[in-house]
Structure 1
Amino acid sequence: MGAAASAARKHLFRPVKNYNVEERAMKVISKDKPIAAPPHPSMKKIMDEIMSDPSKLKTSRSDPRLLQNLSQVYITSAGVNPEATTEKNRLPFNRTPPEESMFGHEEPKSILPGKASLRQVLEFVANHANDRETYTAEKISKDYKLDIIDTINILQHYKTLQVFSARRDKPQKPPHLLRRLQDGIDNLKH
């Protein structure tokens, strides 16, 4: 009901709103200057003082004692700032981008005990998949300094990617029924 009432109200009041709109707009535009809003009573007194003496508007009050103190202030630096010359703030000399790595990110140079890099994990999962007797979970956990439970979970839940490609020689589909009929008609004509 609300939408219908709103639509009806819009259609009824639109002609009243738009009545003589061009003439009313021209009347407002043709005025020389719009009338300013009246000032607040507290500002009226200040404005009257400024109108009577415009020199009060300039507020260049300078204290000679403050200017003298300011002229005695100097900033000098001696020595080298250790914070400004640290290695982290210097730009690198070699600005070539790093080499693309196999896994999309740079491999760490040192790996903490109990941790393994992505390359190491893929390596020992592949070794375990190829030869389960030689590469047991206990041997892998000792070699890579990993927790035995984590190693067993990794070997149980992760496998290396195996790629299977489809055969190149696909069997031909039987021709469509209409095509077989057309071929049969062609053979009868010859």
Structure 2
Amino acid sequence: MGARVGRMFRNFNLENRVHREIAKEKPRLAPRHAVTEPQQQPPAAAATSGEAAVEEAVNRKDDPLLALLRSVYVDSTDPAPAEATKQVTSVGGERRPLKFHLPASVYGLAELTDVPVGKLTIGEALKALSSHRRQPETWTPEKIALDYALDLKEAKSILEFFIPFQVEIIPPKDQETKQIKAS
């Protein structure tokens, strides 16, 4: 009840009070402190004795330091073998036709006709992995590397580390829980 009464007195004649406050003459701001700006001097006259000494020390040639600098000899060698650079250029230049592709309209990808040598598309990788999983004697890493123009080491790594459709069935903690049987 008290809040209602207080709100009534607060809002009483509010608009007139606002107009009166806006119409009042605002107090003037206090004058700012006078700032003395540094005088701009011509560049020749700007150098004082301390600045001149620093500038002279910067521009002076130090013969012992120059002699030490001339004695430094840097021999640089390229750690990468030459065949690594050949491989990079050949990968960018040579291309091979696709062996297998997924329908492009389903995934919204552009239709590819060829890929660089040493590379695989997702469709080709999935096809190679599923073929190897179904027939490991026929689809060996050597055959996959030959068919898809891959390095043998890369083909072995793909078959070892790229496992797309592996389903892990976690056994239940107790026998009452239903379990999916692996077929």
Q: Normalization by structure 1: what TM-score?
A: 0.34
Larger gyration radius, structure 1 or structure 2: 1
